[in-house]
Amino acid sequence: MSSANVFHATDKDFDDLVLKSDQPVLVDFWAPWCGPCKMIAPTLDQLADTYQGKAKVVKVDIEANPQVGMRFNVRSIPMLVMFKGGQVASTQMGAPPNVKSVLSQMIDRAVA
């Protein structure tokens, strides 16, 4: 079950949810058929709860929303991108073995 604190962006509302956000935003570019994407989903739910009020977690299904994927040159998934002030702050390609630690560090750097 996914966290109520995880947002789902589309081609239409990506800019409003992510680029215009007053908080840093961790975006998970994923697809329903992607195994590693499914593996990291519970960690993203935990991070969304942990950082509620400080940072947002937003998921973008690149199959349903191809324009956003093309805009940010998503070539392999999962691709996790930290946005701060509408700009890319950091990127993580693939699901690292220590995913929670890696993503927490990305968020911590953006929140600091």
Active site residue ranges: 34, 37
Backbone phi and psi for residue 98, each to the nearest 5 degrees, phi listed first = -105, 55
CA–CA distance, 12 with 3 (Å, rounded to integer):
22
Tokens in use for 103?
Answer: 């993503």
The number of helices, as runs of H, and strands, as runs of E, in the chain is 4, 5
Rounded (10°) CA dihedral 16, 89, 50, 9: 30
Write the CA distances from 104 to 16, 48, 57, 98, 111, integer angstroms: 24, 10, 11, 10, 10
